Amino acid sequence: MSLTLQSVAPERRDGLALVDERTSLTWNEVDPILNRAANAMAAAVDGKRRVAVFAPNAAENVLAFVAGIEAGVSTVPVSYHLTAGEVAYILKDSGTSVLLVGPETAEVGLAAAAEAGVPLVVGWRCEPRAGLISWDEWLAAASDAEPPTDRAPLPHLHYTSGTTGTPKATLTPPPYWPTADTIAGYAELQRPKAIPSPSLVVSPLYHTGPLVQVRSLFAGTALVVMEHFDAEGALRLIDKHRIAGSTMVPTHFQRLLALPEEVRAKYDVSSMQRLAHTGAACPREVKRAMIQWFGPVLAEAYGGTEAGTTNFISSQEWLERPGSVGKAQPPYETVIIGEDGGELGAGKEGQVYFRDTSGRGIIYEGDPEKTAAAHIAPGVFTLGEVGYVDEEGYLFITDRVSDMIVSGGVNIYPAEAEHVLMGHPQVSDVAVLGVPNAEMGEEVKALVIPEDPANPPSADELNAFCRAALAGFKCPRSYDFVDDIGRTVMGKVNKKALRQKYWPTERTIGG
């Protein structure tokens, strides 16, 4: 019996555990699959014991991440939007031994694995092709015996977009990954963290938010998984399965609220006990409307992949302090630092830092320079934003120090697109920045200085050039041809000044 099944009361084991668009599995049906997948992974990995998962949301995707925990394997979530070159970088950097793909990503995954030297590619629901092992056959060849539980549990390895052009790796931080010496010990610590069941998964499983939901399967929470978000489809699933929990981003809220009133009225959402949101700033009018619709069940988690949740606020607290992202959560304390490096008091705006009372701070694997740059003292780090705390310690975010763009809850670093576009022969210089988008919060725009102002490249040409090297979501959605981007003699560009002309207020970030 897997550790997952041990988390489920015997009377629940014939009930649904995992549902997607194609599959419905009970806990008893999930159990042997997890055992086989865990044993197959444990037998196939070497070195860093890493298995990368590169596929859209599906039941198999969830099973792979949970089996990785039971196998003592570190799974690497990879965005299915990435190009073969981008995936190959992650595979090489992570030391991945096995790549798991779906039918949508098989071709790109095989090319990336070949470039990175990954020896084993396993695919679910894929047409037979050279170099690809069938998921079903891979599992059938493995034992369904309970895997050893005395191995050390290994966190996921996440990749953030790179501020200097290449993504950086960070392990799931302690607030999300309880510290334990063995998998059995981890299970004991994870079970009290289970979220309301059943839980609806709507965000891509390469993000940390939905991976919290996945780990709750390990603790007995049933999951209903959407491959791609559809607003009415989500309401239908909430109604049908009496969904009690979910994690969304503000763009999901925008799309739900955009449905006609008669469509929204068709579905009962009263089963929802906790609707967490994260990933981006939520416009106040959007959040207020969601609370009016779903009730005071919204729970906002602010933080980052590197740190986990640093601040949290309930619906009731937010209604009393609209716009706040909440109080710091242990082991973190919020610290506001002024331009002189001194700590500021309540109501004073400055750069937002967090003091990790455990002393850990945040860690970028294999990159001590970036790790050090994020800290001003041991354990005191920033996520690159500006704000203030009120007299009661509630944090309000007002701006962003870094150039990062947050579009639909996805972090995008302009340096990646700038690096690619500077390689175009008709581009003299370029600055990529975030501009307003009503649904996504922000979208990517490029300001381009052409080599020949009389004969600039077309936006379509630049877009095709960018997409050949980068995932589409990282590429600009619009291009403006300009004479100057304000670059100084030291090579610096004031992105905030460039952004200001596109924003209706002094605030130059979404939300």
Residue at 231 is within a domain: no
Cβ 215 vs Cβ 201: under 8 Å: no
Q: What is the predicted pLDDT for the residue at 163?
A: 56
For 419, the token pair is 């690096």
Q: Is the dihedral of CA 16, 44, 139, 116 positive or negative?
A: positive
Give the C-alpha separation, 371 to 356, whole Å.
Answer: 14
Q: Which residues have C-beta within 8 Å of that of residue 479, sequence separation ≥ 6?
A: 445, 446, 448, 459, 462, 463
* Together in a domain, 451 and 361: no
Amino acid at 453: P
Q: How many domains does the chain have?
A: 3
* Together in a domain, 123 and 163: yes
* Together in a domain, 95 and 204: yes
Q: What is the predicted pLDDT for the residue at 155?
A: 97
Residue at 505 is within a domain: no
This prediction's pTM: 0.90
Give the C-alpha separation, 265 to 249, whole Å.
Answer: 22
- Please name every residue paired with 405 in a beta bridge, in sequence order, or none if there are none: 412
Choose one of 372, 400, 428: the last residue of a domain. Answer: 400
* Together in a domain, 362 and 282: yes
Strand residues in 149-293 grouped as ranges (E):
157-160, 168-171, 199-201, 223-225, 245-248, 274-277
For residue 107, give the CATH number of its domain: 3.40.50.980
**Distance of alpha carbon 417 from its chain centroid, rounded?**
20
Q: What is the predicted pLDDT for the residue at 2?
A: 84
Mean pLDDT, consecutive 10-residue stretches, the chain (511 aa), reads: 88 96 97 97 95 98 97 97 96 97 98 98 97 98 95 94 74 92 92 90 95 93 97 98 97 96 97 95 94 98 94 98 97 96 95 96 92 93 94 94 88 91 94 94 96 94 96 96 86 87 89 82
* Together in a domain, 422 and 446: yes
Instruction: Say how many CA atoms lie within 13 Å of 412 toward its Cβ.
Output: 30
Strand residues in 240-316 grouped as ranges (E):
245-248, 274-277, 298-304, 308-314
Q: Which residues have C-beta within 8 Å of that of residue 81, sequence separation ≥ 6?
A: 471, 472, 473
For residue 457, give the CATH number of its domain: 3.30.300.30
Residue at 243 is within a domain: no
Residue 163's domain comprises 3-217
